[in-house]
A and B are shown apart, each in its own frame.
Chain A
Amino acid sequence: MIQTIAFYLFAVLVIASAVMVITARNPVHSVLWLILAFFNAAGLMVLVGAEFIAMLLVIVYVGAVAVLFLFVVMMLDIDVAALRAGFIRNFPLGIVIALVLLAELVLGIGAYRTGAIELGTPMASDAPAMVGSNTGAIGALLYSKYLFLFEAAGIILLVAMIGAIVLTHRPPKSKRGQQDIGKQNRRNPDEATVMKQPTVGQGVEL
């Protein structure tokens, strides 16, 4: 019973906050509703026993991706009225996209009902048996059966990261504002200061 209550709670909250994401007038509110939706989706994953995926969902999507969304949306000065002005003009296009999505959904559900696709049988049981926690099971699968896919995904991410750095990196235009932390830390009082003891009526000669 506890699980049923929890399921309906999470499911209702996911759908309600997803609806609020697209209906909220303020874009910052939209992002906050999106975060609530992510969070409740993680709750649903805990319910089906995939606690590792649930935690990763919260850490990656709520903890990192949504923070960046929120950053960007807060910085942008979005005028909602201007966005809504083109509503009638873009209405036919929107309807077409909605119909395409609906058709895809109907097709997808129909295909799902007819049964799973035969993808062939695994060559050998090279993957270790699913024992212990699902964290261990995911690790065992990733590093044995899907090792090459996993490594390829890692390399693609690395390339994307380097690409982003190369695209955005600009060499500094001037020397102003460039600080050498090592040089700052190497300074000591002996070479940076001098002790002067001027007599009365005499200034300090620098």
Chain B
Amino acid sequence: MTEFFQSLGMSYEWAWALATIAGILLIALPLMLAVAMIIYVDRKVWAAINLRRGPNVVGPFGLLQSFADGLKVFLQETIIPSASNKGIFLLAPIVTFTVALAAWAVIPFSAEAVLANINVGLLYILAISSLSVYGVIMAGWASNSKYPFFSAMRASAQMISYEVSIGFILVCVVLYAGTFNLNEIVLSQKGHGFGIVNAYGFNLLLFPMWVMFFISSLAETQRVPFDLTEAESELVAGYQTEYSSMAFALFWLGEYANILLMCMLNAILFWGGWLPPVDWEPLYAVPGIVWILLKTFIFFFFFSWVMATVPRYRYDQLMRLGWKVFLPLSLVFVVLISGYLMATGHYGAAA
């Protein structure tokens, strides 16, 4: 895109700045629209599973429900508790939202459509997702209230615990792909399964890793059955209790942007990203962005499905699952996979 702006007669610096801003807007604005629509999908799926009708009043089939909610929230008054720490109280939703958007910079929507095609893309995602805990901690502490603070402590313990096993799962994928670059990880999945399927998910060593990654991504985004930070029966609304109006909406948008990111990561790391599911020439005529959005949507359906059917975990069960089941299992698989790769000599595919 920089070349295009340069061809309009700008210097390189200006062209670069404009191209970057245009790229950011091209990702962030559709993302906001996608978040609004995905909330609608979420509610429709729960409704269908609970034998209800779900949102059906605003617009055709209730399609405009999320926008109506957004408008309502926008017009409400922002209430700042007098005992709160005002600066941090207002900073917390901004941090959550910004961090949720920042991670999208390295996501490859197709072979070319990626804002920052950096060598350490996967590490960047890990770094950004470890930042997202700060929004929750800051909100919980600055609210100066019991329930938000409990929620903040739960959230940080939970996210740190599951990031450990997510890290090891990512190491397994990186061992197979031989690179941290997300685009190259997608490319290395071409024809991986039986020579025809474009996915790591069909690899018998990596399939268990995907199952664990999916469950860990539920925990990382604090979705049911791991939504202990917002457990309404115990903590009112968790760290969001004292928030109202747009500050609350920013938390909400950030949360769903993170969920979409995790769905997309599932697709990119294990199910072929923007490659078509089968390595068959006519399928490559379909643009890559269609495939990756389709896969993301399927994973989002899984997320909603789990939310509508599974009851919440107890906190000790959550910690046990993270530290005593996932961590040892993922460690064993790192050893198994690196041993397999050494034995068969497939290591360093990209090097």
What residues of chain A have their CB less than 8 Å away from a CB belonging to chain B? Answer: 1-2, 26, 28-29, 32, 35, 51-52, 55-56, 58-59, 62-64, 67, 70-71, 74, 132-133, 135-136, 179, 181
Of the candidates A64, A132, A135, A179, the one whose C-beta lies within 8 Å of that of B120 is A135
Q: How far is the CB of B159 from chain A (nearest CB, A)?
A: 9
Q: How far is the CB of B279 from chain A (nearest CB, A)?
A: 27
Interface check B94, CB cutoff 8 A = no
Is chain A's interface secondary structure helix, strand, loop, or mixed overall? Answer: helix
Residue contact A55 to B124, C-beta cutoff 8 Å? yes
Interface check B131, CB cutoff 8 A = yes
Residue contact B160 to A67, C-beta cutoff 8 Å? yes
Q: How far is the CB of B130 from chain A (nearest CB, A)?
A: 3
Please, how many angstroms separate the alpha-carbon atoms of A58 and B130 in the complex?
Answer: 8
Residue contact B156 to A67, C-beta cutoff 8 Å? yes
Residue contact B118 to A64, C-beta cutoff 8 Å? no
Given A64-B160, A67-B137 in contact, is the A133-B119 Cβ separation under 8 Å?
Answer: yes
Residue contact B119 to A135, C-beta cutoff 8 Å? yes
Is chain B's interface secondary structure helix, strand, loop, or mixed overall? Answer: helix
Cβ of B134: which chain A residues have Cβ within 8 Å of it?
35, 67
Please, how many angstroms separate the alpha-carbon atoms of A1 and B16 in the complex?
Answer: 11
Q: Which residue of B lies closest to A140 (CB)?
A: B351
Q: Which residue of A lies closest to B122 (CB)?
A: A55
Please, how many angstroms separate the alpha-carbon atoms of A28 and B149 in the complex?
Answer: 14
Residue contact A56 to B123, C-beta cutoff 8 Å? yes
Q: How far is the CB of A66 from chain B (nearest CB, A)?
A: 8
Of the candidates A51, A59, A70, A74, the one whose C-beta lies within 8 Å of that of B130 is A59
Please, how many angstroms separate the alpha-carbon atoms of A55 and B126 in the complex?
Answer: 9
Q: Which residue of A lies closest to B123 (CB)?
A: A55
> What are 29 contact pairs spanning A and B, CB under 8 A?
A1-B13, A2-B13, A2-B16, A2-B17, A28-B85, A28-B141, A32-B88, A32-B138, A51-B118, A55-B120, A55-B123, A55-B124, A56-B123, A58-B127, A58-B130, A59-B123, A59-B127, A62-B131, A63-B126, A63-B163, A67-B133, A67-B134, A67-B137, A71-B153, A133-B120, A135-B119, A135-B120, A135-B180, A136-B351
Please, how many angstroms separate the alpha-carbon atoms of A55 and B103 in the complex?
Answer: 13
Of the candidates A71, A133, A181, the one whose C-beta lies within 8 Å of that of B317 is A181
